[in-house]
């Protein structure tokens, strides 16, 4: 098999990235549609309903059966192993096409499908912990210092700006809102641009709004340049092919 050129490797890598982005975009649509369906039909349980033992409105099974968590497979008795395997077989039979993860509550045997069953509600204790966590966060101006901006190229070939903490080495979001399409799009490529917020105490004379506008215009111009370069490369290859055909003719 002939060795691929660098150009061919880049084209294949770009094709793989776009395919994954399109798959993420489709999954995001399914997830959004499912959440909207749950909201319309009141599928989620309230904490009071959960405490009262109401079954899951997605599958009809108990949210919490109080049978205890499953032990590791190596620690199960023969009878317990048979029960576990039977539960696994039932789950796969009931959710053959869900293509989703599953979740369960500690202390319960029942597994729930993430595509069919909304997660359990947050209890008062968890809400208090979350409130305490957010209350201890530094002021917003301090948190801005640790944020980086990323330029995302989407499946629609538009560019979006994404902001996240500097400690992350990649963008975990697989689909984001496109500022031009107004729709959720898959992320094909992400490039770190640098600090999301500039410290204006050093004498910077541009407002935050102007910097934001310039950053967006720069990202759009860079993406337009990449598209034009790709088009030029395709045209160059066509010219070379035609020249080879002319040279091969008697």
pLDDT tens-place string over residues 31-82:
999 999 999 999 999 999 999 999 999 999 999 888 888 888 888 899 999 9
CA–CA gap between residue 10 and residue 222 (Å, rounded): 18
pTM of the predicted protein model: 0.68
Q: Which structure tokens are listed for 11?
A: 């084209």
User: Is the pLDDT assigned to residue 248 strictly greater than 70?
Assistant: no
DSSP E strands: which ranges in the chain? 102-103, 112-113, 147-154, 159-165, 175-177, 184-195
User: Is the pLDDT assigned to residue 250 strictly greater than 50?
Assistant: yes
DSSP E strands: which ranges in 112-234? 112-113, 147-154, 159-165, 175-177, 184-195
Residue with tokens 């092919």: 241
Q: Which structure tokens are listed for 218?
A: 């720069």
Give φ, ψ of 49 to 5 degrees. -65, -40
List beta partners, residue 161. 151
pLDDT tens-place string over residues 179-235:
998 999 999 999 998 888 876 554 444 456 666 667 777 777 777 777 777 778 778
Cβ atoms of 183 and 28 within 8 Å: the answer is no
């Amino acid at each position: 098999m002939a060795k691929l050129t660098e150009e061919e490797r880049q084209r294949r890598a770009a094709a793989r990235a776009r395919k994954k982005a399109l798959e993420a975009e489709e999954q995001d649509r399914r997830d959004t549609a499912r959440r909207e369906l749950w909201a319309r039909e009141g599928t989620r349980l309230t904490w009071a309903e959960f405490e009262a033992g109401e079954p899951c409105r997605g599958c009809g099974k108990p949210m919490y059966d109080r049978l205890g968590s499953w032990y590791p497979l190596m620690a199960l008795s023969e009878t317990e192993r048979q029960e576990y395997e039977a539960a696994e077989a039932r789950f796969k039979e009931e959710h053959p096409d869900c293509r989703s993860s599953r979740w369960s509550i500690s202390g319960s045997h029942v597994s729930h499908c993430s595509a069919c069953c909304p997660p359990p509600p947050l209890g008062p204790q968890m809400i208090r912990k979350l409130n305490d966590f957010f209350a201890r966060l530094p002021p917003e101006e301090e948190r801005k210092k640790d944020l980086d901006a990323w330029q995302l190229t989407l499946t629609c070939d538009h560019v979006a700006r994404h902001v996240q903490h500097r400690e992350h080495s990649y963008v975990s979001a697989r689909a984001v809102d496109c500022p031009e399409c107004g729709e959720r799009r898959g992320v094909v490529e992400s490039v770190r641009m640098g600090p999301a917020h500039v410290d204006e105490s050093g004498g910077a004379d541009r407002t935050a709004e102007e910097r934001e506008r310039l950053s967006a215009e720069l990202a759009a111009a860079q993406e337009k340049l990449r598209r034009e370069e790709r088009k030029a490369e395709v045209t160059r290859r066509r010219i070379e092919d035609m020249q080879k055909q002319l040279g091969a003719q008697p």
